[in-house]
Structure 1
Amino acid sequence: MTIHLPVNKLSLWQKIAFGAVLIERMLPNYQMFSQASEFGNSTILRNQLDLIWQRLDKSQKIKINYQAQLTKLEEQIPDPESFDSFGVYPALDTSMALMSLLQAMQDNENDEGFSAVSRLSYNSVSFYIELMIAQEFPEDDTEITDEMIDQHPLMVWEKEMQNELFDLIKDSSENKQTCEKIKKIALSEGISNLGIEF
C-alpha cells in the first residue's frame, strides 16, 4: 500500500517544487522530535529547505554545494535504535525525504529520488495511524488492515493534499508565485502531515 503519483511526468522544476512542499509539511515533525530529544539541529534542515525554495525562484541565481549539504544533513539523521519515542520515526522520514530531494537535484536523471519524497510522507502518516489504532485498542487482537489505514481521516487528508499539490504544480507557471501559493496551501491549517500543530 503506497501512493503512486506520475512524478516522472513533471518537469525538473516541478519535481523539485513538489518534493519541497511535501517536506515543508513534514519538517514540524522533525522540529518537535529534535526539541523533545535534544538531538539534531532542525535549523540546518530549515536552512536547506529554504535554499531549495531560493533555487526554485528563477530570479535568483543560487548555486547549491550538494555534497556539503548532504554531509551536514547526514549528521542530523536520528538512529531509531537510540531513541524510545515514536517521534524518531517521522523525524527519520523527514531527514531521509530531504536527503532524497537533494540527491535527486544533484542527479537530475533520478526520478526515483523525487518519488521517494512522496512515499516517505505517505509512509510516515501510515505508520502513525497504525500506532494510533494499536493504542486505541490495546487489549484487542484485531488485525490492523490496509483498509483501516486507508480510510482514516489523516490518510484521506494526506492523499488529497498530495494530489491537490501535484495537480496545482503541474498546471502552474514555474516561478516564485507558484512556490508561495503551494506553500500557503500546504501550511494553511497550521499542522504537519501527521496533524501535529506548529
Structure 2
Amino acid sequence: MSGFHQRLLTLDPRRQQAFMAALCERLLPNYVFYHQALQGESGGHVNPAGLRAILDLVWERLSVKEASIDFDRQAEKLAELEPPADDDSFGARRALEAVVALSALLDTLRGEAPEAVLEVSRTSKGGVRAFIELTEGEEDPRRLSELIKQHPLMAEENDFQDAVLEAVEGRLDRESLKVLRRLGRNEGVSNLGLSLE
C-alpha cells in the first residue's frame, strides 16, 4: 500500500471525514453538469440541491460535534438522488461517483467504515482516469497507462488530494474547516477540470 494510503488510514475518523468531504465538494460539479445535460429529459431524482444539502450537513457535523443529524435518513435521501440505473452515459457515471463518494462518507458518520476514505480517494482518481481515456482515444494499454500517469489532470488530482491530506493532518478547528471547504470547492472546477462558470 502506498504511503499516501497509509497516511489516510492512520487519520482519526473526523479527519478522514473532512478529507472525504473536501473530495466530495470537488466531485459535486460533475453531478451538476449531468443534471444540466438532462434538462427537460426525465432525470428521475437527479437533484444537485439535494446533494448539496446533504454535504452541507456533513460540514455542519464536522464543525459542531454536538449537531444532532440523522445520517441514516440522509443516506436514504441520497440513495434517491442516484442517476437512473439504465443511463450508462459518461455523464451519468461521473454523477454517480459524486453520489458514491458522499455515500461512503455517510457510512463513516453512521458507524464503522474503515476503508471508506480509500474508496473516496480512488473514486475521484477513477473519474479522472476515465475522462483521460475518453478524451485521449489511446488504444494501446501500456501507452494509455503512461499517458494517464503524466496527464496534467491526473497530476492536478494527485496534488489536490495531497493538499487536502496535508490540511486535515493539521489543526481542524472551524476556521481551518472553512479553508478546507474552499479548497474542496476549487473555485467551481471539478476533478475533470470542468468549470460551472
2:127 corresponds to = 124
1:44 corresponds to = 50
1:159 corresponds to = 158
Contact persistence 2:97–2:127 (CA under 8 A): yes
1:115 corresponds to = 118
1:101 corresponds to = 105
Post-superposition offset of 1:75: 1.2
Range 69-78 or range 143-152, more displaced: 143-152
2:86 is the alignment partner of 1:88: no
Distance across 1 between alignment mates of 2:187 and 2:114: 30
- RMSD of aligned alpha carbons: 1.9
| CA gap 1:132/1:14 in 2 versus in 1, 3 angstroms | same
Letter in 1 for 2:123: L
2:78 is the alignment partner of 1:73: yes
Contact persistence 2:26–2:186 (CA under 8 A): no
Contact persistence 2:13–2:108 (CA under 8 A): no
Distance across 1 between alignment mates of 2:193 and 2:28: 12
Letter in 2 for 1:102: L
Contact persistence 1:7–1:111 (CA under 8 A): no
Post-superposition offset of 1:189: 4.2
* Aligned residues with identical type, % of pairs: 34
What TM-score does the superposition give when structure 1 sets the normalisation length?
Answer: 0.87
1:183 corresponds to = 181
Post-superposition offset of 1:36: 1.4
Q: How many residues align?
A: 188
SS of residue in 2 equivalent to 1:76: coil
SS of residue in 1 equivalent to 2:35: helix
Distance across 2 between alignment mates of 1:29 and 1:47: 16
| CA gap 1:93/1:84 in 2 versus in 1, 3 angstroms | closer
Question: Residue by residue, what CA displacement relative to the aligned partner does 1:68-125 show, whole Å, maximum 9, x if unpaired?
Answer: 1111111111245x23531111101110001111012111x32112221111111111
Distance across 1 between alignment mates of 2:76 and 2:185: 28
Distance across 2 between alignment mates of 1:67 and 1:147: 42
Letter in 1 for 2:106: L
